[in-house]
Amino acid sequence: MKVTEKKLADGHIRLEAVAASAEVSHALDLAAQAFAQQMGVRPQAGKTAAQAITEQLGVKDVDGMVGAQAMELLAPFALDKRNLVPAFPPKTESSEPLRRGKPFSFSLTVTPKPVYELEDYSPLSLALPVVEVPQEAVDQQLAQMADSYASYVASDETHPLGRNDAAKISLAATRGGEEMKGLSTEGRTYVMGLGMMPPAFDDELVGMNVGDEKSFTLTLPGMDEGQDKIECTVKVLELQRKEIPALDDQFVANFFPMMKGIDALRGAIEDSMRMQLEQQRHQMALQQASQQASMRFKGRIADEVYEAMRSTLMQQAHMQASQQGMSFEQFMESQGGEQQFGMMLMLQARQMLASGYALDAVFRHEKLSITDDDLMSAAAQLNPQDPAGAKRQMEEAGQGFALREIAERQKANEYLVAHATIKDINPSAPVAEVEQAQAEGGSLEDASAESAPVSGEGEKAE
């Protein structure tokens, strides 16, 4: 893509771009893929999204239908080419149609992301809960593990089968005269109330005694009205009781042979819990640092930037409502009504913008830089399971500048935490005291544990 840049008198930047024919085709393919995903169209192996849309939806001119979206997908490539980060996504302008296999000329009027400086870059003071792993929590985890390895053995009790009982049963199940081998069994443990079978099956078993045999008809959920029902014949062979293995070295040898006894298993569980708590503490530190930075931000944010962020948040809210099966009106009502939702949206927009601009200022002020590892870490925020894939997708979509922005802000946020003074809060302190300490960026004498500040120089962004 060829891109020329011109700075305008009002502070905007005008980009004139010419996309090559291959780039135009790529944008049309991306737009078709996005449309297919939105419409739930899944291409078969060896077929493109456009072909699947034509076959499954009957759309003949897929390029024409997704052309407007493809034009917008070209804009990030022009921005990335000039290494520009916009305050909000610019609109693509062109006087010519977008055609596959043909070059395409377009222009963008870009509002550059504003640059702010902070009045105070001094170290932050964060209040975080001490990492403690209660032995009760370890005991509970061990008990759950033992329960998951429980077995069922014959019981000496004699009574009718109840809704919380277990029994060994035989089951002959047929449909339309043919045996259902997946259900039929000569002897299998059945635990009442676990949902192993529909509730109607349990209803039939309640009250049966050992040796009783019963035949009945069963309808499975989702069966069509015309389908043959399932004919069942059940015999109770024995009552059973749950036997949970003792938590000792033998338990470990049987189920965790790589561990050297129960003490080693307990230690591994405690280490795992501690690691999770430390991760939670670090995430809390990042959130506090970002929030304190945004409180130090004093710059004026342009109305058009606010509106663009509000529009983005509104789109996300519509998607969230759709995912929850709600109308947007119902979603707003669940958030406290239209007025409260609008106020919340406005505050969220300012918080996100102020936090981002403050972290940008920290990144510049401290002369930080990002590495390939930082970019991969940023991609992991988007897709923890496949950060390399997320990075590749961002770059292939021309969103390299957006990925770099995420990485830079993440680097600045980590810098703030690394150079902050950390005051430890006793996790068992009253909630109100903990919240007050966190809001003040410090700990209360009653609520604080022995504290070891994580030293340094730092910066904040108010």
> For 325-350, how does the pLDDT look when each residue is reduced to its tens digit (9 = 90+)?
888 888 888 888 888 888 888 888 88
Kind of pairing between the strands at 151-154 and 230-243:
antiparallel
Question: Tell me, what's the pLDDT at 216?
Answer: 93
Q: Tens digits of per-residue pLDDT, 192-216?
A: 998 888 899 999 999 999 999 999 9
Question: Please, what sign has the CA dihedral across residues 224, 225, 227, 230?
Answer: positive
For residue 193, how far is the Cα from the chain centroid? Answer: 32
Q: Tens digits of per-residue pLDDT, 375-416?
A: 999 999 999 999 999 999 898 888 888 999 999 999 999 999
Query: Do residues 127 and 221 touch, judged by C-beta distance below 8 A?
Result: no
Structure tokens at 397: 């979509």
What is the Cα–Cα distance from 78 to 19, expressed in whole angstroms?
Answer: 9
Query: Coil, helix or strand for 381?
Result: helix
Structure tokens at 146: 């033992």
Query: Do residues 166 and 191 touch, judged by C-beta distance below 8 A?
Result: yes
Q: Tens digits of per-residue pLDDT, 7-60?
A: 999 889 999 999 999 999 999 999 999 899 888 888 888 889 999 999 888 888
| Percent over 90 (pLDDT), the chain | 57
Structure tokens at 92: 């693509």
Q: Tens digits of per-residue pLDDT, 162-181?
A: 999 999 999 999 988 899 98
Question: Tell me, what's the pLDDT at 391?
Answer: 93
Average pLDDT over residues 59-77: 90
Q: Does residue 3 carry a pLDDT above 50?
A: yes
* Intervals of CATH 3.30.70.1050 along the chain: 2-110
Top pLDDT among 83 and 454 is at 83
Question: Tell me, what's the pLDDT at 449?
Answer: 36
Question: Tell me, what's the pLDDT at 432?
Answer: 56
Question: Alpha helix (H) ranges present in 58-175?
Answer: 62-81, 135-148
Which secondary-structure segment (H or E) carries 166?
strand 166-175
Question: Tell me, what's the pLDDT at 44?
Answer: 87
The model's pTM: 0.73
* Intervals of CATH 3.10.50.40 along the chain: 151-243
Question: Tell me, what's the pLDDT at 435?
Answer: 59
As a whole number, the mean pLDDT across the chain is: 87
CA-nearest of 190, 194, 225 to 205 is 190
CATH 3.40.50.2000 fits 2-110, yes or no: no
Question: Tell me, what's the pLDDT at 225?
Answer: 64
What is the Cα–Cα distance from 57 to 64, expressed in whole angstroms?
Answer: 15
Question: Tell me, what's the pLDDT at 273?
Answer: 94
Top pLDDT among 299 and 128 is at 128
CATH fold of 114-149+246-462? Trigger factor, domain 2 (1.10.3120)
User: Using a CB cutoff of 8 Å and minimum separation of 24, what contacts does 276-284 make?
Assistant: 277/131, 277/132, 277/133, 278/131, 281/128, 281/129, 281/131, 282/417, 284/128, 284/129
Query: Do residues 178 and 231 touch, judged by C-beta distance below 8 A?
Result: no
Question: Tell me, what's the pLDDT at 439?
Answer: 59
CATH architecture of 151-243: Roll (3.10)
* Intervals of CATH 1.10.3120.10 along the chain: 114-149+246-462
Average pLDDT over residues 80-105: 90
Question: Tell me, what's the pLDDT at 452?
Answer: 34
DSSP-assigned letters across all residues of 401-452: HHHHHHHHHHHHHHHHHHTSEEEEE-TTS-HHHHHHHHHHTS--TTTB----
Neighbours of 250 (CB within 10 A): 12
Average pLDDT over residues 281-299: 92
Name beta bridge partners: 191: 166
